[in-house]
Every structure is written in C-alpha cells, then in structure tokens.
Amino acid sequence: MSVRVLVLRSAGTNNDFETVQAFELAGAQAERLHVQALTEGKRRLSEFQILAIPGGFSYGDDLGAGTVLANQLRANLREDLETFVQEGNQVIGICNGFQILVRLGLLPVPGGDKAVSLVENVSGHFESRWIRLRVDTDSSPILKKGEVLEMPVAHKEGRLVVASDEIFDELIKNDQVAFRYTDAEGTEGDPGYPANPNGSISSIAGIQSPCGKVLGMMPHPERHLRSLHHPEWTRRKALGTVSNDDWKQGDGFVIFKRMVEKALELQGAT
C-alpha cells in the first residue's frame, strides 16, 4: 500500500517543494500539481488520499491572502473537495494554505459559512520567527494534546479573528482549536508578543474541522523536518539534549509522518 499526496500549487506558491519532501520523507508518494490540472479535468482529486495546500503568496495575494486560489477552488472544485473530506481523506493547509481553507469554507466547518478570518498581524508587519505551539485538542487523529512543538512562522496576515462570540464558543465546544501559541514556560493563556506573533484571539495558531481531518495552521512544519533545522541545534547537541539519532526528526516532521500513518491505517481498514 502507498499513500498518494497532492501538493497543490499556483502562481506564487513557494513552499511546495519543501512540502513534497516532507511527505516523501514520511513514506508517501507526493506530487506537485498546478490547480489548473484539476480545474481543467486533467487530474482528479479522488486519485489522492491527502491534499496539502502549502504556504507562499498564491497569485501574489493581490486581492487578499489566498483569495484568488480560494475562489478558483470554490467555483470549480467545491463539491469534489467536500466529497474528498466526507470520504475520510485528510487536508492540511499551511500558512497561505490555511488562509485558503478559511476563505474557501472548509474551515472551521466544511460546507459552512465563513465564520473566521485571518487578518493583518497586530504588529502591522511581516513576522518571521521561531515560535512554540501547544496542541490543545483531544479529537485530532494525528495530534497529541499537551505536546509542544517548535517551528517558524512567516506571515503578515495570520491573526485569527471570529465573526462572533457564539462562533468562538462553538470552536471551543467542538474541540477545534488544534494549536495555541505558547512560550518557553508553556504559559496557559495569551503569552503576549512575540510568543504570539500575530495577536490571534486566544493565541490560536491553528484550527481543525470537527472530525479533525481538515487542519489549518499558520506555522510552517515543513521548515522543521530535521532537528538540525532548528537554529539552536548545535547548542542542544553540545548540551546533550539532542542525540545523534534525533537529527532525523524535527518537530514539524511528526505532523507529516502521522498524516501518512493515518492514511495507511485507513487504507488497511477498507
């Protein structure tokens, strides 16, 4: 059995090669495809078990972050996307991909109305830094509540806002907050800037669909595939906190590895 991954790209996408590598290191067969291959019917979403929408600046974000690609997908592939999720397949949107999933309406509830937005950072400028994430969901098929992961962010429009207090309450009630920003001490609540790099409500760094199969996150797991990608890797190795074997797996890699493992598990069950 093998897991086939579609890494979707358009003009302006710039993290597609790294995302392909991440899934290939995890044992999957990953393929970069331009969105037109799907909209023109040359390829089918149903050929794949995982859809990844990577980071970058799709179509230059000229009409807003992720707007053009989201509109393309909504106009041409909305039913296919909803069927893809309904059949138990996994979707991940990273940074610009998260913005696209939100604008498209696959998050927070597939097929629902747009309920959340990702808007300009409180700082008013592009944030590029390493941050810590704490997993805050019990219902994800790939995440473990309480684990802390480190990876970089690189965005100007990553501040999550909600349309109403009722929607925020639903996100909490449905256990849809996948990640929250935290600091070195693992502080509960908002750790403040720069640990929360964009000012997201309740320090939210990523959300998932109620079933957990659709995940959107602003940080970049594909940029921490190996321990040596971390800026403090040599210091950690000197202190003995990273072994000679640990260089093979960075915090971001575990996300891709678990997605592939879950897809294989689902294949074995059918």
List active site positions: 95, 220, 222
CB 101 within 8 A of CB 8: no
**CA atoms of 263 and 89, how far apart (whole Å):** 7
Which 8-state DSSP code applies to residue 179? E
Q: Which two tokens stand for residue 174?
A: 């449905």
Torsion sign, CA atoms 178, 75, 13, 195: negative
In which residue are the tokens 């629902």 written? 112
End-to-end CA distance of the chain: 12
| Burial class, 245, CB count within 10 angstroms (exposed 0-12 / middle 13-18 / buried 19+) | exposed
**CA atoms of 76 and 207, how far apart (whole Å):** 25
CB 77 within 8 A of CB 85: no
**CA atoms of 126 and 219, how far apart (whole Å):** 13
